[in-house]
Structure 1
Amino acid sequence: MSQVEVQKIEDHTTSLAIAAAVICVLLTLLIVWLKRRFIRRASTVLIVGLNDAGKTILFSKLINQGHTPHTYSSLKENVYDGFMDAAGNELTLVDFPGAERLRKQLFTNYFQQRRSNLRGILFMVDSATFSKRARDVAEFLYDVLYESAKKVSVLVACNKQDISLAKSSQAIRSALEREFGLINGTREAALESTAGDSKKRILTDTGRNFQWKDLHSPRIEFLECCVAPQHESGESVDLEGIQKWVNSL
């Protein structure tokens, strides 16, 4: 075989190697793009809580302090699709009304049909009226944790800390722990249906001795905040803890 023929073979082999390398790079880029396009991470952050807990104000402030979001009546959720976390991930914020009659709609739409898209739950509590509404808050939070299948991170934001009667996050945490124990006991004693179905809507089997550590998941945190403007200028708003939590999801 002549030297010219050998050189041609070597050149051809080199070209094939380069082409194969280029194809591998292109395939890798294509796979990454397809994963981002069709296998997206859960992106919905759900803001829930009883009426007057500060959900819509928080929703507005998270979007932009100078931005007025498109709002709906109290019987319709507010949705914002363009929220960016610190890592540049695009999230959907949902502010869901606190009316009790809408609970079934909440659980059906976001905890059953769209559960795979649920990234985090922000549960707002009015710290100033908590003493009067502790049981209602506990029942709602209990159902939220149950319906989420205990797989989604939850932040309990104890709002309105600027009011003198506001309970601390530790006091609220302890009170809810006791209430959860009572709910456990009540639900353990009752069948879910009159047809003899023994399935019970309970988070744990620890009964009245419930403790937060019994929930191996989800990750549940408590923090204190004040999302309403503290001055007429509306510039002083405590959102740092909430923003850190969102960025950690």
Structure 2
Amino acid sequence: MDFTDPTTLGVLVAAVVGLITILLIVIKSLRSSNKNRVLFVGLMDSGKTTIFTQLSQKEAEYPTTTRTFTSMVENKITLRIKDKEREIIDYPGNDRLRQKLIDLIHSRSLLRIVFVVDSAAFSKNARDVAELFYLVALENTDKVPILIACHKQDLSLAKTEKVIRNSLEKEIGFINKSRAAALIGTDGSDEKRATLTDTGIDFSWEDLKKQEVSFVTTSSYSADFGVHEIASFVRA
């Protein structure tokens, strides 16, 4: 075979490109087949477990009473969706379990993330909510879709989706700025810490071009406040 012949060389290049393409498709397919988890995450008492319980109950889509509790371990259920098993994980909101949360996000097993916000306590928790979301979005290197559930909308102190969206936007901008300013590593070398975007305090949701983030308002006690939308997101 004459490797100096342009025609032969072109055929070889095309064959190599074809093999690489096939290999990438196979790898992507294998990764996709291993993704069968939906992660529920949020601060403590945000309402994750309530929503989790609703999804797991077969008798009633919107139960009139729901028992809630603070847990230090994951709650898990397995649902059969479209002839495939899907594991739903209710992850504890305790700060001490953040490293394990990062490991879970990095596991390449997640299909979707539901980020639950306590709308009624948002005013006092806005920074903490933003920092947790920042962590989740930053570590979400697979860019799986994230649904932000503005929960407890039935309570009188609940902030609207618009207020939560705008406040988180500002807080994420501040976090961007503070992280970008930390340029010096502990050993004296230049070490720029990872930021969600390079837009600083001018952050907007549109800056997450490769990350699908959507919002929904929810309540545990009414069919009018989007819990069914979370179910649709989980089953998509």
User: What range is the shorter-chain TM-score in?
Assistant: 0.7 to 0.9
1:224 aligns with 2:217: yes
Alignment of 1:204-215 (within 5 A): 204-215=197-208
Offset at residue 157 of structure 1 (A): 0.2
Offset at residue 39 of structure 1 (A): 6.6
1:239 maps to which residue?
A: 227
Which residue of the other structure, out of 118, 123, 130, is the alignment partner of 1:131?
Answer: 123
Alignment of 1:110-129 (within 5 A): 110-112=104-106, 114=107, 116-129=108-121
CA contact (8 A) 1:74 1:97 kept: yes
Alignment of 1:89-100 (within 5 A): 89-100=84-95
1:147 aligns with 2:157: no
- Gaps of at least 5 residues in structure 2 are 1-27, 61-67
Cα pair distance change 1:38/1:160, threshold 3 Å: closer
1:21 maps to which residue?
A: none
Offset at residue 161 of structure 1 (A): 0.4
Cα RMSD of the aligned pairs, angstroms, is 2.6
Alignment of 1:59-208 (within 5 A): 59-64=52-57, 66=59, 74-80=71-77, 82-85=78-81, 87-108=82-103, 110-112=104-106, 114=107, 116-149=108-141, 151-191=143-183, 193-195=185-187, 196-208=189-201
Alignment of 1:38-57 (within 5 A): 40-57=33-50
* 1:163 maps to amino acid: L
- Deviations 1:68-113, CA, capped at 9 Å, x for gaps: xxx9971111111x2133x3432100001001111111112x122x
* 2:228 maps to amino acid: E
CA contact (8 A) 2:216 2:226 kept: no
Shift >3 Å, 4+ stretches: 35-39, 235-238
Taking structure 2 as the reference length, the TM-score comes to: 0.77
Q: 2:31, 2:207 → 1: CA distance? A: 36
Larger Rg: 1
- Gaps of at least 5 residues in structure 1 are 1-34
* 1:45 maps to amino acid: V
